[in-house]
Amino acid sequence: MKTCSRCFVEKNESDFYKKSAATGTLYPYCKECAKAAGSAHYRANKERHLANSKKWRDENLEKARANEQALREKNRDSTRANYRRYTMKNPEIVKERALKYREKNKEVLAEKSKKYDAKRKEWFRAYAARYRLKNPEYQKTYATINVAKLNAKSRKRFALKLGATPEWANPFFIEEAYCLAQLRTKITGIPHEVDHIVPLQSKIVCGLHCEYNLQVIPSLSNRSKSNRYWPNMPI
């Protein structure tokens, strides 16, 4: 037991700070009195303390950041709880600070965003690969769904062609057009497609699926043409 020299209360030795770990000597006043005296001294010299703290931080920026990070890690839960309380209490201040920070660090944030997006893509790819290995039945289901979608789309177009195919259309010449597209692709190395000169579907008119309305052109030309224009189209 030891009596504090300031509050004159007899307390346990654990209630006193140690002067030296080697000798085990204690300060004459207890921890509570020491904290009260420190608080009073800080309040009386607040500006000087703040200036000294700022000066030390500026001179030891990396060390200060490391200390702050270690403190946050040590008190993660309480830090988050305090931040949530402050955010709920002062939403406008937090929003204003965030806007100022984003304006000041646009380039840094953009670079971070790019890195994060790239990292996230890699993570998703790795996750998808692991998931497929663990769940092979998913791959089959996914393939079945895709095939079903493609078949549905193909049948819809096929039905459209049937509806637009007149009785006098020659199926031989139509098949020849598709064979010619494959041949030109093979010889030139440039993808070719069979195009309907007057499109099967458009807001103005619907063409026929017959040999007179077919032409073999490069795929790029077909894509750019789409169903927006054709020869002698009405204005």
Amino acid 106: pLDDT: 87
Amino acid 15: pLDDT: 85
Amino acid 227: pLDDT: 67
Dihedral sign, CA of 29, 32, 37, 41?
positive
Task: Please compute the mean of the pLDDT values over residues 5-31 and round it to a whole number.
Answer: 81
Position 109 confidence tier, pLDDT thresholds 50, 70, 90: confident
Position 18 confidence tier, pLDDT thresholds 50, 70, 90: confident
Amino acid 32: pLDDT: 86
**Structural contact between residues 192 and 177, judged by C-beta atoms closer than 8 angstroms:** no
Which residue(s) pair with 195 in the sheet?
215
Task: Please compute the mean of the pLDDT values over residues 105-115 and round it to a whole number.
Answer: 88
List Cβ neighbours of 169 (8 Å cut-off, separation of 6 or more): 208, 209, 210, 211
Tokens 């988050």 locate to 80
pTM above 0.85, yes or no: no
Choose between 135 and 209: higher pLDDT: 209
**Structural contact between residues 207 and 164, judged by C-beta atoms closer than 8 angstroms:** yes
Amino acid 231: pLDDT: 64
Q: Domain coordinates of the chain in residue numbers?
A: 165-235
**Structural contact between residues 223 and 199, judged by C-beta atoms closer than 8 angstroms:** no
- Check pLDDT > 80 for residue 202: no
**In the predicted model, what is the mean pLDDT of the chain?**
80
Termini Cα distance of the chain: 105
Amino acid 154: pLDDT: 65
List Cβ neighbours of 45 (8 Å cut-off, separation of 6 or more): none
Side-chain-side CA neighbours of residue 234 (13 Å)? 5
- Check pLDDT > 80 for residue 14: yes
Task: Please compute the mean of the pLDDT values over residues 58-62 and round it to a whole number.
Answer: 88
- Check pLDDT > 60 for residue 152: no
Task: Please compute the mean of the pLDDT values over residues 160-177 and round it to a whole number.
Answer: 80
Task: Please compute the mean of the pLDDT values over residues 59-77 and round it to a whole number.
Answer: 87
